[in-house]
Amino acid sequence: MLYLASQSPRRRELLGRLGLEFGLIDLDLPEHRQPGEPALEYVRRVAREKAGAGLLKVVANPSALVLGSDTEVVLDDEVFGKPRDAADAAAMLRKLSGRTHQVISAVSLVSPSREAQAVSISQVAFAELDDATIERYVATGEPMGKAGAYAIQGYAEVFVSRLDGSYSGVMGLPLHETARLLREFGVGV
């Protein structure tokens, strides 16, 4: 049985696009970058921790397969997580304005006997955003709960002048890498 260890409705939607049945494991793990921890290792670690914590919740099921994922926006080694409030969201968007940033998505798949991981790194270029545009976008509420204070599948899609990488990875679950991992574990996709 496949489980998704995530509260993200975007991850649920994306995993559903693979045509698989899966259960949900609701986790609320703290996500804190360790001092000196490289951004890539941080994202990989959080994805592993989510999958591992999910497996502990379904340990009674010997055929359990748990998928955990983490996605973060990174600019100049600064990790932009979910904004604390509207002012934090606006500050993030000002920093991203007119710049190219990375979106790192890590996917971990664990069973009682094995684990594997894949990573997708996308380059996302934002157009210049003036303060009025940022204020209007933040007022929609869309930036809240989103890494980097934006949703590429929403209004912020017009901010993206160039994307080199995985659109679904920027949304929160890189489907190409996820499907490859599932096939490695014998799940037909």
Q: Which residues are catalytic?
A: 70
Q: How many residues does the chain have?
A: 189
**DSSP code, position 141:** S
- CA-derived radius of gyration, the chain: 17
Please give the Cα distance from 171 to 105 (Å, whole number).
Answer: 9
Number of H helices, E strands in the chain: 6, 7
Residue that the structure tokens 């955003």 belong to:
129
Q: What is the largest CA-CA distance in the chain?
A: 54
In 3D space, the residue among 111, 24, 112, 103 whose CA is nearest the CA of residue 70 turns out to be 103
CA 155 to chain centre: 18
Classified as helix, coil or strand, 149 is helix
User: Per the structure block, which two tokens stand in for 182?
Assistant: 């599932």
Classified as helix, coil or strand, 109 is strand
